[in-house]
């Protein structure tokens, strides 16, 4: 298994440009999520999905869109890039859906990250 893959690894955008960060997993995980990590900080949740066709907002969703047309893929779209979106972006997946009382508990698998710079 390749696990969670992310492309590209690095990207430089100009303000106002749009792009899509790709994320794919081959573990048949229901739950996928996108985080951003700013220097010296923890991860902040952008969007998440509990299954194909279902997405929801996280802590910092503004300026980002997601879709989940298949179990495997969970792309993150930046609609109009801003310097404040300069960050490292991580995609993660899990066999477990967090928040379900009494449900099974599984780890999150993280991709290697995409380092995005917006000038």
Partner 1 sequence: SQQGEEDPQALSIQEGENATMNCSYKTSINNLQWYRQNSGRGLVHLILIRSNEREKHSGRLRVTLDTSKKSSSLLITASRAADTASYFCATDARKAAGNKLTFGGGTRVLVKP
Binding site for partner 1 (CB under 8 A): 4, 31, 33, 35, 40-45, 48, 50, 56, 58-59, 90, 92, 94, 97-103, 105-113
Q: Output 17 or 106, the one with its CB closest to partner 1.
A: 106
SS3 per-residue string spanning 7-63: ECCEEEECCCCCEEEEEEECCCCCEEEEEEECCCCCEEEEEEEEECCEEEECCCCCC
What is the distance between the alpha carbons of residues 50 and 96, in angstroms, rounded to a whole number?
Answer: 9
Q: Which is nearer to partner 1, 24 or 113 (CB)?
A: 113
Nearest-angstrom CA–CA distance, 51 and 16: 31
Between residues 13 and 43, which has the closer beta carbon with respect to partner 1?
43
CB of 39 to partner 1, least distance (A): 12
CB of 93 to partner 1, least distance (A): 11
């Amino acid at each position: 298994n390749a696990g969670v893959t992310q492309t590209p690894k690095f990207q430089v955008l100009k303000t106002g440009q749009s792009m899509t960060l790709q994320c794919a997993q081959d573990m048949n995980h229901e739950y996928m999520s996108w985080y951003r990590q700013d220097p010296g900080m923890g991860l902040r949740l952008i969007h998440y999905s509990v299954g194909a066709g279902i997405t929801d907002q996280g802590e910092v969703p503004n300026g980002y869109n997601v879709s989940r047309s298949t179990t495997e893929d969970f792309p993150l779209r930046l609609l109009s890039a801003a310097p404040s979106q300069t960050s490292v972006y991580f995609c993660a997946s899990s066999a477990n859906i967090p928040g379900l009382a009494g449900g099974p508990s599984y780890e999150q698998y993280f991709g290697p990250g995409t380092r995005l710079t917006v000038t």
